[in-house]
Chains A and B, each alone.
Chain A
Amino acid sequence: MTISRRTLIKQLMLGAGAAALLPSCVFDKKEKTVEGAGFLLSEDQNKLLAEIAETIIPKTSTPGAKDLKVEEFIGVMVTDCFDKETQDKFSKGMTAVSDLSEKRFNKSFIQITPEQRTELFSDIASKKEGIPVEAIDFFPLIKGLTIRGYMASEYILTEVKPWLLVPGPAKGCIAV
């Protein structure tokens, strides 16, 4: 019985790190998992995820989601920590966003402009009529992951809101 490589990997219950242990012959180049991406995303899908995250938290005068490789964090969390139901919601959502872009602009989400992406997301966020439910359900999920990845990044926790490993005695009541 022949099974797809994707199914084989799922059957072996491999996560991001273990995938690296598989002999290279198991992978077809088209389906090669991207280093650090984790959730069986193709290179294209991983690029899409990066642009989605960047739209949610863009580069301004300070790093945005792409700079901080938030899509890698998202990939790991979806692969390792989500249950099957939520993983499906995530997959369907990614596809829905991709399809929406093709339908409206005749281009992939990666190719459209930031303004066009903002237009798409505004419609999704406001649950505008005609937006598929998969995209509507996906949006809070991907936003939450992006925010978490951003706020828990080394950059934020060292440069912006430093998290101290050794804070010393706390103060219970100080003036703001």
Chain B
Amino acid sequence: MANLNIDSKEQRTFDAIVIGSGISGGWSAKELTERGLKTLILERGRDVKHNIDYPTTNMMPWEFKHRGDLTDQEKKDNPVISRCYAFREDAKHFFVKDKEHPYVQDKPFDWIRGYQVGGKSLLWARQTQRWSDFDFEGPARDGFAVDWPIRYKEIAPWYSHVEKFAGISGNKDGLAELPDGEFLPAMEMTCVEKYFSEEVKKNYKNRHVIIGRAAHITDPQPIHIQQGRAQCQQRSLCQRGCPFGGYFSSNSSTLPWAAKTGNLTLRPFSVVHSIIYDEAKGKASGVKVIDANTKEEVEYYAPIIFINAAALNTNLILLNSISNRFPNGLGNDNGLLGKYVAFHNYRARISGEYDGFKDFKTEGRRPNGGYIPRFRNVQKQETDFLRGYAAGFSAGRGSHSDTDGFGTTLKENLLHPELGSWYVGSHMMGETIPKETNFVALDKTLKDEWGIPQLKINVGYDDNDEKMTADYIQQMTEMFEKAGFTNIQSNDSKAAPGLDIHEMGGVRMGNDPKTSLLNKWNQLHACKNVFVTDGASMTSTSTQNPSLTYMAFSARAVDYAVSQSKKKEL
């Protein structure tokens, strides 16, 4: 790559800068470049080109030296990241190494990150659900955080917009609390998932078990073919990167699309230090970058800046953007930057068995599961905790062999496994209440390899979380029992927050600049040419997997930013 730091200022000036190439940054860049803006993406990690840079994607199980397991040394070297379910032999190269990216746990927090082009869009679980007004109205109705400055009807067309491009499979279930989207055919539920769905409908008024809505192409549309993507082959190896482009990632979808416009410049190895604020003009003028390899400082300039660095990273960048106008971080007049961070409670699980459907089984693999939308406190407050939880639900049938003996008997048993019982399982995804006391801040002395202050994370559970966890276990146990499931075992892992990988907030949206950082357009109240459309913008967490909402926010905010720019309002 050309020695960009000696490029002239003109060569380092763009129409727009996007910080981060992950699931939301890719969308910001796609929408900006489509509108004719010369756009620079600054990605702190290395490039990962679709298909070319997926080293493990076509490896067979025996080709992995440790058959998928991590080595003891890897676990010792990466105590945090090795807790993530996807950090295994086939995808570990898409995760950060703990030692290279230190942070401070003021309270225990497992910060799971993937620093490369595409970010965590290579690794995500691809579950996508729309918010409804039951979610947007949550803070106002239940008296926490601040009122969202938007409602469903404003975001609905943008959900449609991103769903159609990304390719979302799902069933139109007709549920007010989980609006239907632009769906490709749904994946199949298994026998026992369908059975449980019927039992729950029979036994409860407002609880539903549906097939997950997932960002997988089950029936490629022209827009997907144009992207160079094909039908998902249900390999369930998504975390390796998919040669079919079967699931949505920046790498397979938005980034190549943006590049096709001819308006994209992608600069990997660009660690963003801060946003440059022009005190005279009263707006941001650009971004200060530390080259990840050479550690040299380079500045890039643009009249429009989108911060999509991922929730806590975005907080870090803004907190580190100090100026006379903003001594406490860009846009931080009210002192709330970094505060009201929340996450999803993923602590509880439940499992069981079912003795029926003995004459049936599943075939193949499925990169998806069943989903139970939130049923607690939807229409009104009903329990001793606020809000509620969604849940995954899956049922499958394994085969097993009697491995008691050894020798020819054991071998015969291994070669002729028998179908076992159906197994069922569920995990909890609970909304957590954002509070001022859950926050991130810059460490006053510790810095990382690039001279940037380390992030202090001070986020923990509260009493609401404890009550909600107990309720999930109690309710799911009852639902399982009523369906005739046996050997029901539940567990509260009491894991630290973070493994949900849905941390959000710190730069929340709101109507009032005194109590929020962003307005209804994801625009910094106090610095109109800076937009935040990743998890940092979330005023509350609700129960949905958030990435679809980040995509919709990004597309909508770009549309607004560009139209405002044309009107010279930025």
A residues whose Cβ falls under 8 Å from a Cβ of B: 13, 15, 55-58, 60, 62, 64, 73, 76-77, 80-83, 118, 121, 125, 143, 147-148, 150-154, 157, 160, 163, 165-176
Q: Are B188 and A172 touching (Cβ within 8 A)?
A: yes
B204: interface (CB < 8 Å): no
Residue of B nearest to A56 (CB): B406
Q: Are A154 and B60 touching (Cβ within 8 A)?
A: yes
Q: Are B408 and A58 touching (Cβ within 8 A)?
A: yes
The distance from the CB of A13 to the nearest CB of chain B, in whole angstroms, is 7
List chain B residues, Cβ under 8 A from A77: 66-67, 69
Residue of B nearest to A13 (CB): B73
Q: Are A147 and B363 touching (Cβ within 8 A)?
A: no
Please list 22 pairs of residues, one from A and one from B, whose beta carbons are closer than 8 Å in the complex, sorted by A's number.
A15-B71, A15-B73, A56-B406, A60-B408, A64-B411, A76-B65, A77-B67, A77-B69, A83-B72, A121-B406, A150-B414, A166-B233, A167-B234, A170-B364, A170-B365, A171-B188, A171-B363, A172-B188, A172-B191, A173-B188, A173-B357, A176-B360
Q: Are A175 and B66 touching (Cβ within 8 A)?
A: no
Q: Complex Cα distance A165/B56, Å? A: 12
Q: Complex Cα distance A6/B363, Å? A: 49
Residue of B nearest to A140 (CB): B403
Q: Are A56 and B188 touching (Cβ within 8 A)?
A: no
Q: Complex Cα distance A81/B68, Å? A: 11
Given A147-B414, A176-B361, is A55 in contact with B407 using a C-beta cutoff of 8 Å? yes
Given A151-B414, A165-B235, is A170 in contact with B419 using a C-beta cutoff of 8 Å? no
List chain A residues, Cβ under 8 A from B187: 169-170, 172
List chain B residues, Cβ under 8 A from A170: 187-188, 234, 362-366
The distance from the CB of A120 to the nearest CB of chain B, in whole angstroms, is 11
B486: interface (CB < 8 Å): no
Residue of B nearest to A83 (CB): B72
List chain B residues, Cβ under 8 A from A153: 62
Residue of A nearest to B243 (CB): A166
Partner of A81, one of B61, B66, B359, B414: B66
Given A148-B67, A152-B67, is A163 in contact with B218 using a C-beta cutoff of 8 Å? no
Given A160-B415, A169-B218, A169-B234, is A176 in contact with B359 using a C-beta cutoff of 8 Å? yes
The distance from the CB of B475 to the nearest CB of chain A, in whole angstroms, is 25
List chain A residues, Cβ under 8 A from B366: 170, 172
- Across the A-B interface, give the 6 residue pairs with the lowest CB-CB distance, nearest first: A170-B364, A172-B188, A173-B191, A80-B71, A172-B190, A171-B363
B470: interface (CB < 8 Å): no
Other 5 A-B pairs with CB < 8 A, given A73-B67, A81-B70 = A80-B65, A152-B67, A165-B58, A173-B189, A175-B360
List chain B residues, Cβ under 8 A from A163: 60-61
Q: Complex Cα distance A148/B363, Å? A: 22
44-61 of chain B: CB within 8 A of chain A? 58, 60-61
| Chain B contact residue count (CB 8 A cutoff) | 44
Residue of A nearest to B89 (CB): A81
Q: Complex Cα distance A147/B67, Å? A: 13
Q: Are B61 and A174 touching (Cβ within 8 A)?
A: no
Q: Complex Cα distance A150/B193, Å? A: 32
B4: interface (CB < 8 Å): no
The distance from the CB of B269 to the nearest CB of chain A, in whole angstroms, is 28
B410: interface (CB < 8 Å): yes
Q: Are A157 and B407 touching (Cβ within 8 A)?
A: no
B83: interface (CB < 8 Å): no
Q: Complex Cα distance A28/B357, Å? A: 62
Given A62-B415, A154-B60, A163-B61, is A174 in contact with B407 using a C-beta cutoff of 8 Å? no
Q: Are A176 and B364 touching (Cβ within 8 A)?
A: no
Per-residue contact bits, chain B 119-142, to A (CB 8 Å; 1 contact, 0 not): 000000000000000000000000
Q: Are A174 and B66 touching (Cβ within 8 A)?
A: no
Q: Are A168 and B364 touching (Cβ within 8 A)?
A: yes
Per-residue contact bits, chain B 324-368, to A (CB 8 Å; 1 contact, 0 not): 000000000000000000000000000000000111111111100
Partner of A125, one of B193, B360, B406: B406
Per-residue contact bits, chain B 398-436, to A (CB 8 Å; 1 contact, 0 not): 000001011110110011000100000000000000000
Q: Complex Cα distance A169/B407, Å? A: 37
Q: Complex Cα distance A125/B409, Å? A: 14
Q: Complex Cα distance A171/B362, Å? A: 6
Q: Complex Cα distance A131/B234, Å? A: 49
List chain B residues, Cβ under 8 A from A174: 360-363
Q: Are A147 and B188 touching (Cβ within 8 A)?
A: no
Q: Are B191 and A152 touching (Cβ within 8 A)?
A: no
Q: Complex Cα distance A91/B411, Å? A: 25
Q: Are A152 and B62 touching (Cβ within 8 A)?
A: yes
B92: interface (CB < 8 Å): no
The distance from the CB of B241 to the nearest CB of chain A, in whole angstroms, is 14
Q: Are B410 and A169 touching (Cβ within 8 A)?
A: no
Given A13-B73, A167-B364, is A172 in contact with B67 using a C-beta cutoff of 8 Å? no
Residue of A nearest to B403 (CB): A147
Q: Complex Cα distance A152/B64, Å? A: 10
Q: Are B193 and A172 touching (Cβ within 8 A)?
A: yes
B194: interface (CB < 8 Å): yes
List chain B residues, Cβ under 8 A from A76: 65-66
Residue of A nearest to B64 (CB): A152
Residue of A nearest to B71 (CB): A80
Q: Complex Cα distance A82/B359, Å? A: 40
220-274 of chain B: CB within 8 A of chain A? 232-235
Q: Are B414 and A172 touching (Cβ within 8 A)?
A: no
Q: Are B61 and A157 touching (Cβ within 8 A)?
A: yes
Q: Complex Cα distance A136/B403, Å? A: 16
Q: Complex Cα distance A172/B197, Å? A: 14
505-544 of chain B: CB within 8 A of chain A? none
List chain A residues, Cβ under 8 A from B405: 125
Q: Complex Cα distance A58/B188, Å? A: 40
